[in-house]
Amino acid sequence: MVRFKNRYIALRIDPNKLPSNSVYKISSSALYHSILNKVQQLHGDFGTASIKVGFSAKYCNELTRMAIIRVRHGPHKFITSTLPLVKEIDQEKVVIHTLYVGATLLHCNKFLQKYQRRKLEELWLHMKPNGREELEKLVMDLDVSKLTTKMRKNH
């Protein structure tokens, strides 16, 4: 039996027209197809065929604009070279930042938690002291509906 190694890539998606505190609706399939189309443009049929087997968008968060994609080890280099050149998702202009490339989903998750903790501490600088604990619970739970209502109340 052969074991296939995967790479998990953590991304931050920044839309050009939306402010940083608004919710950006993105689907996993839209992210998948935009990356696949860009790989087709840059690396041709060989690049598309090599990544297509194990490639999937595992996680997309609308509020934090984070995403995790999975691709097989080896062909992940096609994806990492293509990500900075993806400029559109669902006819909306975006900038994609590669944050982390890891071997397991667990390590990618740990990285995203640390990253979100740093962003949370940056938010705390601009908030009233009494709302910090509640906001921390909401951000770390990643429940989008509760977090958007809380952010609207504090601003």
Instruction: Name the DSSP class of 130.
Output: G
Q: What is the pLDDT of residue 61?
A: 84
How many domains is the chain built from? 1
| Full domain range(s) for residue 129 | 6-154
Position 144 scores a pLDDT of 46
Output 84 or 20, whichever has higher pLDDT: 84
Q: Which helix (H) or strand (E) holds 123?
A: helix 105-124
Give 22's DSSP letter.
Answer: S
Please state, in angstroms and rounded to a whole number, the distance separating the CA atoms of residues 134 and 118.
16
**CA distances (Å), origin 86, targets 12, 14, 58, 92, 149:** 12, 11, 18, 11, 31
Q: Which residue has the tokens 């280099």?
A: 77
Which tens digit of pLDDT belongs to each residue from 87-139?
A: 999 888 999 999 999 999 999 989 998 998 888 888 777 777 677 777 777 66
Residue 31 lies in a domain: yes
Q: Give me the CATH number covering residue 91.
A: 3.30.70.3250
Phi, psi values for residue 60, rounded to 5°: -135, 125
Least confident of 6-10, 17-21, 71-75, 98-102: 17-21
Average pLDDT across the chain, whole number: 84
Question: Is residue 1 in some structural domain?
Answer: no
Any domain includes 52: yes
